[in-house]
Chain A
Amino acid sequence: MNLVRMLAVGTWLHVKQLSRSPFEIATSILIPLVQATLAVYLFRASPQPQALLGAAVGAGLMGVWSSVLFGSGGAIQRHRWEGTLEVLLLAPRRPALVILPFTFATAVTGAYSIMATLLWGRLLYGIRLTFADPVGFVVAVPVCVLSLGMFGLLLASTFVLMRNANALTNALEYPIWLLSGMLIPITALPGWTGPIAAVLPTTWGSRAVRAAATGGDVWPLLAVCLAISLVCLVLGALALSYVERRARVAATLALS
């Protein structure tokens, strides 16, 4: 119970911090709205009729990923700049448990993106918010957000060790959008990308949310997403303990 409370309180604290940052709000809301607008015009320009709801949901999911990707790394870098990273990692809890609330919080604030793009689509472009499986959608979005938070932990482990992990984050935004089929079906990509996409929780999470919105079997997709995310959580926890030890040995924890 203490563990659940710690994660919940930690996540809430970081959500509140992120929600007061104009930069985070812009990243989570304004930029996904621009991407949603772009997607709507592209979908409308298509000679075949396209489900515009898919464009709004896809752009929202892209926003969640951007938030997790930049947020997880950004949080650690921010604590490093502020000189609080050592204090955090001195806590008598495992490093993974200290860092996990950051990554959950970035995923939760990323969820603003989905709400913003859906609302934007409804108000500006008259997209009808008729979900094929409304219950599935209501469950799939938080599960997808939670899963991305766990995936974020695996990413965050690299930020403790690498001083220039931004290079990794800047290069990872579009590949994950592409490979996970957030806006483009995976079938439209070359066959060799299939195995890579299959091991990403983002792929299954996006497919589940899109299936709930536009039609398809949500639950098996959601189960696979959750299973892969749990593997990411375990790998992330192990990696974080390892890199934290290495950062202490090499005295690179506080180096920015």
Chain B
Amino acid sequence: MLRLIGVGGVIAYRALFNWTTPAMFVGTLLVGPVFQLLFFAFLGRQLGVGSDHFYIVGNAVFASATACVYGGVMAVANERRFGTLGHVLLSPRSRTAIFLGRALPYAANGLLVAAITLLGGVLVLGLSVPGSALPGLLLAFAAGSVSSAFFGLALGAVGLRLRDVWLISNVAVALMLLLTAVNVPAAALPEWIRAVGSFVPITHAAEAARRLAAEGSPADSLAPLGVELVVGVAYAGLAAVLLRIFEAESRRRASLDTL
């Protein structure tokens, strides 16, 4: 089972990424997030809202989420686009395990993207992160990446039913920017947005990362990290259920490869 999840996931990740180029990877996943970070950091400076530290750490976590949500969606949607979904669903092994395994390389990718975005922010805006906080920060990025990848997988599962999954994923990522309070201090958001945001990936990971980067005690970040992992597990469960339901539905309606 571990081989199916691990090796299968890595092979699928390589196969999907082989369609693209290093320029695409750098432009989309590395350059774009650094400019997003700079945009919000300068906006915050201009308005006198939040510190550079607030925007750098928040946007580093958000960068991982963007990579992971789209990655999770691609793990399902691109199989259909490239005409290989039928072959995957013909497999005698558990499709739940296959697809959950697909999300994990994207989570690792998200971790890399978050680390590079953080580095970019530190270099351009001059934030100092204590060395002792780095392991905890990586843990927070990893937790955010995993929950975002499973969230993406759940959205990708919806793509088995809908024709244009990219519409949902684009709107979802835009909403995450608002709901997760990565770019607006939570206190400035209305209660209902904060309530909805607490169920959205990376909200708690960003909070944990900010506490760690502010030289807080690692113990302070354990509670938000734990909640982030619970959110991630919940989305993994949701993705598994949706994949089963929509796979059965797609077979019944013969709409598996309908684009």
Contacts and interface: CB of A to CB of B under 8 A. Distances in A.
Given A31-B170, A31-B171, A164 B24 contact: yes
A253 B200 CA distance: 42
Nearest to A38: B178
B64 interface: no
A45 interface: yes
B131 interface: no
A129 interface: no
B80 to A, nearest CB: 15
Contacts of A171: 26-28, 31-32, 35
Nearest to A33: B174
Contacts of A192: none
Interface string B11-48: 00000000011011111100110011011001111111
Contacts of A41: 178, 184, 188-189
Given A167-B27, A171-B28, A43 B171 contact: no
A185 B46 contact: yes
A167 B22 CA distance: 9
Contact of B188 (A42, A50, A185): A42
Nearest to B173: A31
A30 interface: yes
A38 B183 contact: yes
Interface in A169-203: 170-171, 173-175, 177-178, 183-185, 188-189
Given A31-B174, A41-B184, A164-B20, A177 B39 contact: yes
A188 B44 CA distance: 10
Nearest to B179: A34
Interface stretch (A21-29, A114-122, A147-155, A205-213): A21-29
B46 A45 contact: no
B185 interface: yes
Contact of B171 (A26, A45, A185): A26
A173 B166 contact: no
Contacts of B47: 42-43, 45-46, 48, 50
A34 B187 CA distance: 18
A166 interface: yes
Nearest to B185: A45
A178 B38 CA distance: 8
A42 B44 contact: yes
By CB atoms of chain A within 10 A, which of B21, B25, B35, B171 has the most? Answer: B35
A22 B25 CA distance: 27
Contacts of B23: 164, 167
Given A42-B44, A164-B24, A174-B36, 8 more contacts: A23-B170, A26-B167, A30-B174, A31-B174, A34-B171, A38-B178, A42-B183, A167-B26
18 contacts: A30-B174, A34-B171, A42-B47, A42-B184, A45-B185, A45-B187, A46-B48, A166-B24, A167-B21, A170-B27, A171-B31, A171-B32, A174-B36, A174-B38, A175-B35, A178-B35, A178-B38, A184-B43
The 3 closest A-B CB pairs, nearest first, are A167-B27, A45-B188, A174-B35
Interface of B: 20-21, 23-28, 31-32, 35-36, 38-39, 42-49, 164, 166-167, 170-171, 174-175, 177-178, 183-185, 187-189
Interface of A: 22-23, 26-27, 30-31, 34-35, 37-38, 41-48, 50, 164, 166-168, 170-171, 173-175, 177-178, 183-185, 188-189
